[in-house]
């Protein structure tokens, strides 16, 4: 896959916006204007990939939600991009009846059924608008790509396929079927966009297995149907002759419950954990939160600010996986570089002023003109750089405030030690009892990690002690019930997960005070570095890609949709190590696993790993789901 | 009864989406037959004929007109671009060469055309402002005009690039052509270098002028020799004067060309600055409004404070009066009792 999934999806979207013809490379082509109508699913898919400016460049003058009030704009073609649900179809029929636009290009995110197509047809007939419906397409784009190598299934109705929905005690078969169908549909769209048929491996006995069986069946049916197959011609002429097929590893959240609760130390994962971060967009409150307001003064309004962290932001791309102190340093460096450039431009201004009086030399004038032109043309770049630096300064400051107030570095260190089973110097009770170290949620997370990673279940008296301490700290104990159940269940199934055995070495326990010119004073925050260690998911992927024989992955099932007979054997026929892998976690994932996989892929050159999950949650949301499960 | 229509799933190799338009049309036919079977009254035929005459708003027609004009300009520029920019080699035929007057003509025409187009866009914009249509339609129209504007700017860039290349080429040629020696004595060399120069600078008229001037000077000199009336010193003096004049003219022409190039660059810069200044204008307006509002508020605040002071003073007076009355009444009672 020379082009990443994100590029493929972007290309598909751009083609769709160009009336499903490939966009011309002509620099000055005639503008054709159109209107884009989407529902919430379509909005989530488009917003991480295309900015409003790019939409404008493609000729989209208005972009509107399907279920909003729309005025008729009589002579403009309209492009619809939505899911084929009942209400959307009804709204389309309504639009056709009220004749809002001149021509309609309908694009459905996943395949539309014949009966719904007939509904639209009858509405079009009734409104005499059949000739206006110019094209109807199935786009097969039912997934959201957040990064070059990360995708999630959906953001809108994620409660339907959340961890809670899959694992709750009172789930019915029909519900489970529906959830599996949704997941399989999205995965199928993903592989259609990718243009490759994978080899599927999954563990036995949980939701991942069900997904694998269904996906295998769907892919097989599609491949058999030679006339309408979506895969013929793609893998051959796609330009990149990848003779190897990718490996799809289906993992289940139940294999590794500690990672979503873990406190983290890398930039992107911290932002997700601590701030409000959805679909590559950070929402923060700014304003006079920290200044004490004197009596009588009007309280400063807190403004909400949103920042987009996109692929074009080079600083973000470079540093989203680095540990936080490095990020702070780099922001400082960028700021210094920017100031140097600014001074350069200012110096130019003074030179210009001086030499304006010298008349004789035309050549000097031409030199100055050239310099001025270059300075003026570099101004937009400088402004853009300044904006990015401001953005990252604000975001990093906010994160730092959270770290300081909740002492997240302490938690991180402790949990790393727990997960790597090295010796711990402070006892758990001390940390829980410490009143100003973190919110009750943090303490609960710490305790759950302890419980999950303990080799044997702590005795009842210990448990009572911990329970009392937690209750004193105002923690909610219902997740604990669920985790107890889970632990008992997994103990029966297999041994406890091993989290790797390398620890964290704090790089000097002295507080790192930066010089007064900087804005990041990280007093009292330990400067911790990250050592490379592999989470369970990463280890499983490693084993499967290299065909190593390990006890935990040996009895994984093996599916190959291209084989003629659906075999039940779990003997892989392919003996070569895989170069590309797609990891999909059923039940939810988060940025810590993603970062771990990225680091793993970087360490093995030539490997590409794409990470996907059914939903993306941070620890707070996961805790909420666990407490809901524990209350049953 | 639905027939199975064969539809092409993917025509282009990278086309992932499935075109189900034919499937849709098949469903339309199905529904039509179903309706006929049920007996639903569908009077589609009549209305379809009349439906086509949906009113096309004047706005989009005019915008499309502007676009076709700009496209015409672009095609015109691209068509003549090769000739315009060509340096002209030794073997080039006369047909493809353009005289300078033709080039100037193209420049003039292009500029007037661009001006009229931008005028038209401005007019459309003001109309959109005035018309009271819904917010969505207004936004749409403004965005459409922005797109047209960007297209016009792209085409203008084409034109200015061409022109910059032309000016630069002339300046370079001018610099090359200054290899001509300026000593009057070295006539033979002049004669030898003349044809060389002519090879290099065949196109440009000033060079032609120069060679012509040198030609005429040569002729004069020859004539002078034949006539034998003018003394060699006078001939030399004339030669020197001629050479001086020629070099002065060359300098002037040189400077003029350079200045022209600079002016083109400066005009580009000017455009950028004008854009920025216009942007700042709106900001300054906002600031002005805010400042006016702030002064109003401060004035009102002052008034309020004055009133408060007055009230305070009045209040104090009343308290004082009340206390004095109380003390008098106490004294009175005391006197009455005693």
Confidence of residue B303 (pLDDT cuts 50, 70, 90): very high
Residue B318: what pLDDT?
A: 96
Q: What range does the domain containing B160 cover?
A: 58-178
Q: Is residue A513 part of a domain?
A: no
C-beta of residue A152 within 8 angstroms of C-beta of residue A616: yes
Element holding A281 (H helix, E strand) = strand A281-286
Least confident of A28-37, B104-113, B255-264, B281-290: A28-37
Looking at the complex, report in whole angstroms how far the Cα of residue B28 sits from the nearest Cα belonging to chain A.
Answer: 5
Residue B284: what pLDDT?
A: 94
Is B144 close to A61, i.e. CB distance below 8 A?
yes
Residue with more model confidence, B98 or B122:
B122
Q: Is residue B332 part of a domain?
A: no
Average pLDDT for residues A202-210, to the nearest whole number? Answer: 82
* Maximum C-alpha span of chain A: 95
* B60 inside 8 A of chain A by CB: yes
Among A203-217, A471-485, A490-504, B278-292, top mean pLDDT goes to B278-292
Residue with more model confidence, A239 or B194:
B194
Give the Cα separation of A405 and A395 in Å (integer).
Answer: 16
pLDDT of B117 strictly over 70: yes
Is A59 close to B147, i.e. CB distance below 8 A?
yes
Residue A61: what pLDDT?
A: 86
Residue with more model confidence, B285 or A565:
B285
Give the Cα separation of B299 and B186 in Å (integer).
Answer: 87
The predicted-structure confidence for A285-334, as pLDDT tens digits, reads as follows 775 444 444 444 455 566 778 888 887 788 888 888 888 888 888 888 88
Q: Is residue B18 part of a domain?
A: no
pLDDT above 90: percentage of residues in chain A: 0
Least confident of A49-53, A220-224, A285-289, B73-77: A285-289
Instruction: Indicate the SS3 state at residue A588.
Output: coil
Examine the domain organization and report whether A401 and A268 are in the same domain: yes
Among A274-288, A345-359, A532-546, B111-125, top mean pLDDT goes to B111-125
Least confident of A238-242, A490-494, B230-234: A238-242
Examine the domain organization and report whether A457 and A574 are in the same domain: no
Q: Which of B18, B146, B269 sits opposite A230 (nearest CB)?
A: B18
Examine the domain organization and report whether A89 and A135 are in the same domain: yes
Residue A426: what pLDDT?
A: 66
Give the Cα separation of A386 and A122 in Å (integer).
Answer: 55
Residue A366: what pLDDT?
A: 60
Is B140 close to A73, i.e. CB distance below 8 A?
yes
C-beta of residue B90 within 8 angstroms of C-beta of residue B96: no
Query: What is the ipTM for the molecules in this complex?
Result: 0.70
Q: Which of A28, A62, A369 sits opposite B136 (nearest CB)?
A: A62
Residue of B nearest to A196 (CA): B16
Residue B2: what pLDDT?
A: 41
Q: How far is CA A328 from CA A205, A267, A391, A393, A521, in A?
A: 45, 10, 13, 8, 9
Is A121 close to B51, i.e. CB distance below 8 A?
no
Number of Cβ pairs < 8 A linking chain A and chain B: 160
C-beta of residue A256 within 8 angstroms of C-beta of residue A536: yes
Give the Cα separation of A360 and A350 in Å (integer).
Answer: 19
Is B18 close to A111, i.e. CB distance below 8 A?
yes
Q: Is residue A555 part of a domain?
A: yes
* B18 inside 8 A of chain A by CB: yes
Examine the domain organization and report whether A279 and A332 are in the same domain: yes
Give the Cα separation of A442 and A173 in Å (integer).
Answer: 35
Here the tokens at position A302 are 């807190």
Confidence of residue A365 (pLDDT cuts 50, 70, 90): low
pLDDT of A520 strictly over 70: no
Q: Is residue A522 part of a domain?
A: no
Examine the domain organization and report whether A442 and A382 are in the same domain: no
- Provide the 8-state DSSP code for A159: G
Q: Is residue B45 part of a domain?
A: no
Average pLDDT for residues A328-353, to the nearest whole number? Answer: 81
Q: What range does the domain containing A51 cover?
A: 5-141
**Hey, how many other C-beta atoms are within 10 angstroms of the C-beta on B307?**
10
Q: Which residues of chain A are within 8 Å of residue B22 when distances are taken between CB atoms?
A: none
Residue B180: what pLDDT?
A: 53
Q: Is residue B125 part of a domain?
A: yes
Q: Indicate which CATH number applies to the domain containing A163.
A: 3.40.50.1910
Give the Cα separation of B79 and A455 in Å (integer).
Answer: 80
Least confident of A345-359, A602-616, B72-86: A345-359
Name the nearest CA neighbour of A2 among A606, A598, A560, A605.
A606
Q: Indicate which CATH number applies to the domain containing B102.
A: 1.20.58
Residue with more model confidence, B68 or A457:
B68
Q: How far is CA A608 from CA A384, A495, A584, A603, in A?
A: 32, 29, 14, 11
Q: Is residue A507 part of a domain?
A: no
Examine the domain organization and report whether A20 and A103 are in the same domain: yes
A500 Cβ neighbours under 8 A, 6+ residues apart: A419, A420, A533, A534, A535, A539
Owner of token pair 């604000």: A394
Average pLDDT for residues B154-166, to the nearest whole number? Answer: 81
Instruction: Indicate the SS3 state at residue A476.
Output: coil
Q: Is residue A103 part of a domain?
A: yes
- Last residue in a domain, options A141, A163, A182: A141
Instruction: Indicate the SS3 state at residue A185.
Output: helix
Least confident of A293-297, A330-334, A516-520, B133-137: A516-520
Residue of A nearest to B17 (CA): A139
A9 Cβ neighbours under 8 A, 6+ residues apart: A45, A49, A141, A143, A145, A193
Give the Cα separation of A139 and B15 in Å (integer).
Answer: 10
- Last residue in a domain, options A141, A173, A188: A141
Q: How far is CA A262 from CA A77, A444, A533, B220, in A?
A: 50, 11, 14, 99
Beta bridge partners of A284: A305
* Chain A interface, best mutation among B13, B27, B45, by max A CB count within 10 A: B27
Per-residue exposure over A186-200, b if at least 16 CB sit within 10 Å of its own CB, e if not:
bbbbbbbbbbbbbbb
- Last residue in a domain, options A124, A141, A158: A141
Give the Cα separation of A594 and A150 in Å (integer).
Answer: 8
Residue B296: what pLDDT?
A: 96
Residue of B nearest to A104 (CA): B21
Q: Indicate which CATH number applies to the domain containing A270.
A: 3.90.830.10
Q: Which of B35, B67, B255 sits opposite A30 (nearest CB)?
A: B67
Structurally, chain A folds into a number of domains equal to 4
Here the tokens at position A221 are 């049916």
Residue B146: what pLDDT?
A: 86
Is A128 close to B28, i.e. CB distance below 8 A?
no
Is B144 close to A33, i.e. CB distance below 8 A?
yes
Is B143 close to A20, i.e. CB distance below 8 A?
no
Instruction: Indicate the SS3 state at residue A338.
Output: helix
Give the CA angle between residues A150, A156, A159 to the nearest 5°. Answer: 95
Examine the domain organization and report whether A309 and A278 are in the same domain: yes
Q: Which residues of chain B are within 8 Å of residue A134 when distances are taken between CB atoms?
A: 21
Name the nearest CA neighbour of A283 among A395, A429, A140.
A395
Give the Cα separation of B291 and B45 in Å (integer).
Answer: 65
pTM above threshold 0.80: no
Average pLDDT for residues A455-469, to the nearest whole number? Answer: 77
Residue A452: what pLDDT?
A: 80
Mean pLDDT over the full length of chain A: 76
Is B9 close to A229, i.e. CB distance below 8 A?
yes
Burial of A202 (0-12, 13-18, 19+ CB in 10 A): buried
Examine the domain organization and report whether A19 and A122 are in the same domain: yes
Confidence of residue A69 (pLDDT cuts 50, 70, 90): confident
C-beta of residue A497 within 8 angstroms of C-beta of residue A480: no
Residue of A nearest to B134 (CA): A71
Structurally, chain B folds into a number of domains equal to 1
* Chain B interface, best mutation among A12, A21, A28, by max B CB count within 10 A: A28
Q: Is residue A313 part of a domain?
A: yes
pLDDT of A75 strictly over 50: yes
Element holding A104 (H helix, E strand) = strand A103-108
Give the Cα separation of B15 and B17 in Å (integer).
Answer: 6
Average pLDDT for residues A237-257, to the nearest whole number? Answer: 70
Examine the domain organization and report whether A219 and A274 are in the same domain: no
Average pLDDT for residues A253-260, to the nearest whole number? Answer: 81
Is B136 close to A369, i.e. CB distance below 8 A?
no
Residue with more model confidence, B219 or B323:
B323
Is B9 close to A230, i.e. CB distance below 8 A?
yes
Least confident of A165-179, A222-236, A444-458: A222-236
B44 Cβ neighbours under 8 A, 6+ residues apart: A125, A128
Residue B95: what pLDDT?
A: 52
Q: Which residues of chain B are within 8 Å of residue A79 when distances are taken between CB atoms?
A: none
The predicted-structure confidence for B245-279, as pLDDT tens digits, reads as follows 999 999 899 899 888 888 888 888 888 888 889 88
Query: Could you write out the three-class secondary structure of chain B?
Result: CCCCCCCCCCCCCCCCCEECHHHHHHHHHHHHHHHHHHCCCCCHHHHHHHHCCCCCCHHHHHHHHHHHHHHHHHHHHHHHHHHHHCCCCCCCCHHHCCCHHHHHHHHHHHHHHHHHHHHHHHHHHHHHHHCCCCHHHHHHHHHHHHHHHHHHHHHHHHHHHHHHHHHHHHHHHHHHHCCCCCCCCCHHHHHHHHHHHHHHCCCCHHHHHHHHHHHHHHHHHHHHHHHCCCCHHHHHHHHHHHHHHHHHHHHHHHHHHHHHHHHHHHHHHHHHHHHHHHHHHHHHHHHHHHHHHHHHHHHHHHHHHHHHHHHHHHHHHHHHHHHHHHHHHHHHHHHHHC
Confidence of residue B215 (pLDDT cuts 50, 70, 90): very low
Q: Is residue B108 part of a domain?
A: yes
Q: Is residue B238 part of a domain?
A: no
Confidence of residue B181 (pLDDT cuts 50, 70, 90): very low
Examine the domain organization and report whether A15 and A137 are in the same domain: yes
* B269 inside 8 A of chain A by CB: yes
Examine the domain organization and report whether A378 and A278 are in the same domain: yes
* B297 inside 8 A of chain A by CB: no
Residue A519: what pLDDT?
A: 44
Least confident of A4-8, A28-32, A71-75: A28-32
Residue A23: what pLDDT?
A: 66
Q: Is residue A326 part of a domain?
A: yes
Examine the domain organization and report whether A618 and A563 are in the same domain: yes
The predicted-structure confidence for B305-338, as pLDDT tens digits, reads as follows 999 999 999 999 999 999 999 999 999 999 999 8
CB contact residues (below 8 A), chain B span 158-187, against chain A: 158
- Cα dihedral sign, A358-A360-A362-A363: negative
Give the Cα separation of A58 and A19 in Å (integer).
Answer: 11
Average pLDDT for residues A399-413, to the nearest whole number? Answer: 83
Is B20 close to A234, i.e. CB distance below 8 A?
no
């Amino acid at each position: 896959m020379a082009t990443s999934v994100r590029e493929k999806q972007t290309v598909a979207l751009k083609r769709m916006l160009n009336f499903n013809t490939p966009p011309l490379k002509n620099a000055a082509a005639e503008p054709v204007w159109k209107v884009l109508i989407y529902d919430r699913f379509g909005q989530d898919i488009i917003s991480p990939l295309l900015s409003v400016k790019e939409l404008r460049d493609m000729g989209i003058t208005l972009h509107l939600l399907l279920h909003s009030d729309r005025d008729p704009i009589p002579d403009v073609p309209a492009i619809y991009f939505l899911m084929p649900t009942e209400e959307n179809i009804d709204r389309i029929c309504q639009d056709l009846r009220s004749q809002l636009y001149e021509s309609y290009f309908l694009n459905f995110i996943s395949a539309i059924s014949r009966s719904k197509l007939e509904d639209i047809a009858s509405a079009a007939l009734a409104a005499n608008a059949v000739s206006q419906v110019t094209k109807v397409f199935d786009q097969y784009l039912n997934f959201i790509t957040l990064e070059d190598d990360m995708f999630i299934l959906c953001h809108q109705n994620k409660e339907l396929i959340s961890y809670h929905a899959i694992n709750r005690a009172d789930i019915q078969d029909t519900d489970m079927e529906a959830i599996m169908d949704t997941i399989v549909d999205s995965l199928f769209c993903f592989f259609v966009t990718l243009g490759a048929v994978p080899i599927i491996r999954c563990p036995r006995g949980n939701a991942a297995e069900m997904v694998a069986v269904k996906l295998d069946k769907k892919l097989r049916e599609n491949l058999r149907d030679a006339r309408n197959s979506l895969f013929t011609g793609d893998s051959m002429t796609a330009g990149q002759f990848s003779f190897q097929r990718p490996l799809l590893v289906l993992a289940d959240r139940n294999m590794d419950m500690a990672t979503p609760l873990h406190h983290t130390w890398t930039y992107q994962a911290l932002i997700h954990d601590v701030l409000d971060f959805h679909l590559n967009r950070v929402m923060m409150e700014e304003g006079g939160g920290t200044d004490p307001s004197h009596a009588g003064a009007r309280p400063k309004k807190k403004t909400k600010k949103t920042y987009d962290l996109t692929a074009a932001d080079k600083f973000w791309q470079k540093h989203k996986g680095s540990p936080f102190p490095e990020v702070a340093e780099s922001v400082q460096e960028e700021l210094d570089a920017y100031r140097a450039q600014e001074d350069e431009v200012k110096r130019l201004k003074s030179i210009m002023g001086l030499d304006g009086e010298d008349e004789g030399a035309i050549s000097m004038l031409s030199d100055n003109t050239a310099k001025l032109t270059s300075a003026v043309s570099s101004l937009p770049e400088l402004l853009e750089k300044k904006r990015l630096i401001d953005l990252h300064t604000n975001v990093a400051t906010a994160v730092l405030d959270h770290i300081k107030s909740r002492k997240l570095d302490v938690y991180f260190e402790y949990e790393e030690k727990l997960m790597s089973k090295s010796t711990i110097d402070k006892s758990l009770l001390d940390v829980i009892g410490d009143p100003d170290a973190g919110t009750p949620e943090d303490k609960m997370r710490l305790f759950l990690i302890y419980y999950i990673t303990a080799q044997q279940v702590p005795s009842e008296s210990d448990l009572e002690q911990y329970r009392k301490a937690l209750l004193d700290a105002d923690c909610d104990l219902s997740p604990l019930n669920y985790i107890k159940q889970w632990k008992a269940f997994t103990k029966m199934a297999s041994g406890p997960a091993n989290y790797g055995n390398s620890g964290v070495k704090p790089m000097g326990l002295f507080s790192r005070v930066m010089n007064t010119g900087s804005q990041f004073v990280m007093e009292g925050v330990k400067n911790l570095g990250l050592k490379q260690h592999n989470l369970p998911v990463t280890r499983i992927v490693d084993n499967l890609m290299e065909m190593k024989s390990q006890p935990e992955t040996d009895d994984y099932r093996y599916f190959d949709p291209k084989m003629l007979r659906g075999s039940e054997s779990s003997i892989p026929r392919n003996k070569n190590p895989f170069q590309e892998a797609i990891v999909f976690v059923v039940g939810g994932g988060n940025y810590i696993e993603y970062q771990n996989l990225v680091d793993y892929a970087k360490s093995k050159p030539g490997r590409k790993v794409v990470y996907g999950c059914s939903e993306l949650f941070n620890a707070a949301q996961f805790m909420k789901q666990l407490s809901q499960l524990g209350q049953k | 009864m639905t027939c199975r229509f064969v539809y092409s799933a993917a025509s282009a190799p990278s086309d992932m989406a499935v075109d189900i338009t034919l499937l849709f049309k098949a469903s339309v036919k199905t529904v039509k037959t179903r309706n006929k079977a049920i007996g639903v009254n569908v009077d589609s035929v009549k209305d379809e004929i009349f439906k086509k005459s949906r009113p096309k708003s004047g706005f989009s027609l005019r915008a499309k007109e502007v676009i076709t004009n700009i496209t015409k300009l672009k095609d015109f520029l691209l068509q003549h671009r090769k000739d315009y920019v060509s340096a002209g080699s030794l073997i080039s035929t006369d047909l493809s060469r353009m005289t300078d007057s033709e080039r100037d003509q193209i420049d003039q025409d292009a500029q007037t055309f661009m001006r009229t187009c931008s005028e038209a866009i401005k007019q459309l914009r003001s109309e959109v402002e005035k018309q009271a249509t819904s917010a969505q339609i207004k936004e749409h129209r403004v965005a459409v005009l922005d797109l047209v504007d960007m297209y016009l700017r792209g085409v203008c860039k084409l034109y200015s690039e061409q022109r910059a290349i032309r000016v630069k080429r002339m300046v370079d040629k001018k610099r090359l052509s200054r290899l001509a020696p300026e000593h009057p004595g070295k006539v033979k060399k002049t004669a030898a270098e003349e044809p060389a120069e002519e090879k290099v600078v065949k196109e440009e008229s000033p060079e032609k002028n120069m060679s012509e001037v040198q030609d005429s000077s040569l002729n004069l000199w020859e004539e002078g020799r034949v006539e034998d009336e003018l003394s060699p010193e006078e001939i030399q003096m004339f030669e020197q004067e001629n050479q001086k004049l020629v070099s002065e003219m060359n300098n002037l022409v040189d400077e003029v060309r350079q200045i022209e190039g600079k002016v083109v660059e400066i005009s580009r810069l000017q455009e950028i600055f004008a854009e920025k200044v216009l942007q700042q204008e709106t900001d300054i307006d906002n600031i002005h409004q805010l400042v006016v509002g702030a002064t109003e508020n401060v004035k009102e605040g002052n008034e309020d404070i004055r009133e408060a002071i007055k009230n305070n003073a009045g209040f104090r007076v009343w308290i004082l009066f009340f206390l004095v009355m109380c003390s008098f009444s106490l004294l009175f009672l005391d006197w009455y009792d005693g």
